[in-house]
Amino acid sequence: MRVPLLDLNAQYEPIMKQVRQNIDQVLSTHQYILGPEVKQFEEMMEEFLNVNHAIGCASGTDALVLALRALNIGTGDEVITTPFTFFATAGTIHRVGAKPIFVDVKEDTYNIDPDLIEKAITNKTKAIMPVHLFGQPCEMDRIVQIAKKHNLYVIEDNAQGIGAVYDGQNAGTIGEIGTLSFFPSKNLGCMGDGGMCVTQDEELAKRLRQLRVHGENPKYFHKWVGFNSRLDTIQAAVLSAKLPHLAKWSEMRRENADYYYANMKDIKQIKMPVIHDKAVSIFNQFTLFAKDRDGLMKHLKKANIGCAIYYPLPLHLQECFGELCGKKGDCPVSERAAENVVSIPIYSELTKDQQDYVIDTIRGFYNK
């Protein structure tokens, strides 16, 4: 048996006809830049997330840059975020000229620890950027409360949490701006790069729409210097074919997670994901904290089971930031996580046979 970490072909087969039909529609009109399919998909997303405005852009990374710039965050500003995330979260803060301030994560969820945020706030702090890691929303009630008290913006990096819910509200729609990524390995992936900003605020939406076309309004008149960052029309057409299936796909991931929970709870050498009471996760990853993680990974790979480390080096220790953003020991929980976590297959189309094989293989490793 072979169990990949993600099987995009299994997802593609049942929707192939619709995807191709939607792509053909774009090819028949040649409206490749901001064609009608982009607006149509944005409206579908507004409805799906119950949010006032959705603005498509070229990637999840660009969505973060656009969000930061729309809130006028730049040189000299500080943004509080987590070191245990994909690089883009902090890379974009750095790229707009601001400084990422890393606050450690919680032991159980790997999400930013609200208890540590206030200590990191200075008079330069402009925003908090929580990341809904692996598909589980952060403690948004507490984060929003801290932001309000200190007059800070909240930008939710929701690249991994599309459709996740915190206390009845959709992740990404709680702060000033939420960002999404349609990178192929996200729960809603396109066939290349794609991203989106969502916001409840009309003024911010207007700014985001202008920033993605070089800050122009009207055409060839530039209020500020923006970017070239649109969601491709062809990608929007692909995403429109996929979005109607997303809720069902996320439910299937949750069922797969439940199956792991039920059948691996006796394996004492691994700790499975802990989901907060108020949170509904979409399980972008199913991440174990595992004894002898590297040995387990070798064992899984030999058995043709896909697995990966998200993420092997916390961002405060990345070479590109030098000493600017921290040193070893600053974020001990993140550092420990980086040394012990491994993500195993959780994608929607995973069969029970495949899951049994994964479970038996993990059990076999620790029983040897």
**If you write DSSP's letter for every residue of 330-347 in order, what string do you get?**
SSHHHHHHHHHEEEE---
Which residue's CB is nearer to ligand PLP, number 158 or number 355?
158
Question: What does the alpha-carbon distance between residue 38 and residue 48 come to, in Å, rounded to a whole number?
Answer: 15
- Dmax over Cα atoms in the chain, in whole Å? 69
Q: To the nearest whole angstrom, how small is the minimum distance from the Cβ of residue 157 to ligand PLP?
A: 5
Question: What does the alpha-carbon distance between residue 214 and residue 206 come to, in Å, rounded to a whole number?
Answer: 13
Question: In sequence order, which ranges of the chain are alpha helices (DSSP H)?
Answer: 8-12, 16-29, 36-49, 60-70, 88-95, 114-120, 140-150, 202-211, 233-264, 293-302, 332-340, 352-367
Residue 148 has a CB neighbour count (10 Å cut-off) of 10
Query: Chain centroid to CA 224: how far?
Result: 28
Q: Which of 26, 35, 37, 59 binds ligand PLP (CB under 6 A)?
A: 59
Q: Does 193 bind ligand PLP (CB under 6 A)?
A: yes
Which residue's CB is nearer to ligand PLP, number 260 or number 311?
311
Q: To the nearest whole angstrom, how small is the minimum distance from the Cβ of residue 339 to ligand PLP?
A: 20
Q: To the nearest whole angstrom, how small is the minimum distance from the Cβ of residue 103 to ligand PLP?
A: 15
Q: Which of 181, 235, 355, 361 binds ligand PLP (CB under 6 A)?
A: 181
Residue 214 has a CB neighbour count (10 Å cut-off) of 17
String of contacts with ligand PLP for each residue 18-57, x by CB under 6 A: ----------------------------------------
Which residue's CB is nearer to ligand PLP, number 195 or number 226?
195
Q: Give the pairing of strands 165-166 and 153-157.
A: unpaired
Which residue's CB is nearer to ligand PLP, number 178 or number 362?
178
Q: Does 61 bind ligand PLP (CB under 6 A)?
A: yes
Q: Which of 35, 56, 60, 135 binds ligand PLP (CB under 6 A)?
A: 60
How many residues sit close enough to ligand PLP to count as binding (CB under 6 A)? 15
Please give the span between the terminal C-alpha atoms of the chain, in angstroms, as a whole number: 20
3-state secondary structure (DSSP) of residue 198? strand
Which residue's CB is nearer to ligand PLP, number 85 or number 354?
85
Which residue's CB is nearer to ligand PLP, number 55 or number 270?
55
- The amino acid sitting at 139 is E
Task: Answer for the pair 242, 19: CB distance below 8 angstroms, yes or no.
Answer: yes
Q: Which of residues 74-103 bind ligand PLP (CB under 6 A)?
A: 85-86, 88-89
Which residue's CB is nearer to ligand PLP, number 62 or number 176?
62
Task: Answer for the pair 182, 56: CB distance below 8 angstroms, yes or no.
Answer: no
Q: Which of 93, 131, 164, 344 binds ligand PLP (CB under 6 A)?
A: 131
Q: Which of residues 137-176 bind ligand PLP (CB under 6 A)?
A: 157, 159-160
Q: To the nearest whole angstrom, how small is the minimum distance from the Cβ of residue 262 to ligand PLP?
A: 28
Residues that bind ligand PLP (CB under 6 A): 59-61, 85-86, 88-89, 131, 157, 159-160, 181, 183, 193, 195
